[in-house]
Amino acid sequence: MLRRIGTAGLLVAALTACGIGDGPAGATPTGGKAAPPAPTTPAAPTTPASRPPANTVERVLAKMSLEEKVGQLFMPVLYGASAEAASGENQARYGAQTPAKVIAKYHLGGVILFPHNVKSTRQVVGLTNGMQRAAGKVPMLIATDQENGLVSRMSALMTDFPGASEIGATKDLMLSREVAKATGTELRALGVNLDFAPVADVNIDPRNPVIGRRAFGDDPARVAKMVAAAVKGFKDAKIAATAKHFPGHGDTSVDSHTGLPVIKHTRAQWERIDAPPFKAAIEAGVDAVMSAHIVFPKLDSSGDPATLSKTILTGLLRKKLGFDGVISTDALNMEGVRKKYNDGEIAVRAVLAGADLLLMPNDLPKAHHAVLAAVKSGRISKQRLDESVTRLLTLKQSKGLLIKAPVASADEAAGVLRSAGHRKLAARAAG
């Protein structure tokens, strides 16, 4: 997700009130003659107090308004060094000056940080803590692209680890895991809880202008093992990981930031080349998978990019590969997804395709309004909306974010960022 601007099954409401008896009607524990049936009395009405308690995700979901649910789907980039800092950019884009006011206005479920948000350790900790306070009753996913190497949004503060291609070349799976754990640990110290990494693309086109050295390599089996190891490392650090860019962005000479790439792999080639790293990531327990703004005719003949393809996101990723976590779009301000539809329609179609997290819409007010209107009209069913919100809340719960957001400490972060141990690991990874 290189941009110019800078868990067990889906937790749907499936916990039912199970009145489990001891056996078939009339049976006795010893198999003897059944006692005469007891006189029947009218069943007492079920009251809220008599129902089994709902799980935490269900309770939170039940208390959310429609507007709050829709807001959970969106993750824009905000401007300003603190949650209360006024910015003309925020005002122009979102109709509110400060990050805190934008978060409150749209009931945002998440934000993504870029280098313009990063000045110092204490400042970033203050920013993330302030954003969490602004979120109110449902804490936020605070994300960034810290792949290491070419794409390192927090490089001003964090250990300079080698990128995926260098780590992949070592063939050292433990190294991949250790670097991911160290990266996640540093992000978590800053108040970031979701990393849009690792890259799961198999870079088989040397002309690829968008993936290249961001990938672990050109061998599907090796990339799959490296990706799985990295996912485990992020889990070790208790931070959410994202495998990207599904269904595979490795064989293209077109940059999806400026155009719409077409991948000409057959279904058999996809199975052999592109799919293995995503399968491995899912088996390793990856929290999220990011879609690619690419057309893949042999997987979906509609001509729509994968981000807007129900055949790919729901049919292939959910049903065939069995992924039940969060599906994130790549940035919706990229030209690869904006060729055919306006910014509101893009957001609606992404949800209908199966996306849960709408990343960086080009026009947040228009996209938010379009999704809200689509739910009200029934184009997006309330059940479909609840499915996505449930996945997002479940992810937050799995990282300890659902009820109370953790508060980052600048002093603790200072002892974690660029620690001696992490610098030693970086040197070992660089060879």
**pLDDT tens-place string over residues 58-100:** 999 999 999 999 999 999 999 999 999 999 999 999 999 999 9
Count CB-CB contacts under 10 A for residue 135. 24
For the packed helices 275-283 and 220-236, what is the interaxial angle rounded to 10 degrees?
30
pLDDT, position 216: 96
* Per-residue model confidence (pLDDT) at position 146: 97
Rounded to two decimals, what is the model's pTM?
0.86
User: Are the CB atoms for 419 and 183 separated by under 8 Å?
Assistant: no
The CA distance from 151 to 399, in Å, is 24
Tell me the per-residue pLDDT of 374-384, one tens digit each, with 9 for 90 and over: 999 999 999 99
Q: Residue 144: which residues within 8 A CB-CB, separation 6 or more?
A: 112, 113, 114, 153, 154, 187, 192, 194, 195, 196
DSSP state of 40: P
**Can 201 be counted among the known catalytic residues?**
no
User: Mind listing the pLDDT tens digit of every residue in the chain (431 residues)?
Assistant: 444 344 333 333 333 333 333 333 333 333 333 334 444 434 433 333 334 445 999 999 999 999 999 999 999 999 999 999 999 999 999 999 999 999 999 999 999 999 999 999 999 999 999 999 999 899 999 999 999 999 999 999 999 999 999 999 999 999 999 999 999 999 999 999 999 999 999 988 777 667 888 999 999 999 999 999 999 999 999 999 999 999 998 766 555 666 678 888 899 999 999 999 999 999 999 999 999 999 999 999 999 999 999 999 999 999 999 999 999 999 999 988 998 899 999 999 999 999 999 999 999 999 999 999 999 999 999 999 999 999 999 999 999 999 999 999 999 999 999 999 999 999 999 98
Read off the pLDDT of residues 346-357 as tens digits, 9 standing for 90 and up: 999 999 999 999
257 labelled catalytic? yes
**pLDDT on residue 204:** 85
Q: Check 257, 265, 368, 422 and give the catalytic one.
A: 257
Burial of 171 (0-12, 13-18, 19+ CB in 10 A): middle
Q: Which among 96, 121, 46 is positioned nearest to 408, based on CA atoms?
A: 121
User: Of the residues 287, 330, 343, 363, which is catalytic?
Assistant: 330
Domains of the chain, first to last: 65-429 (3.20.20.300)
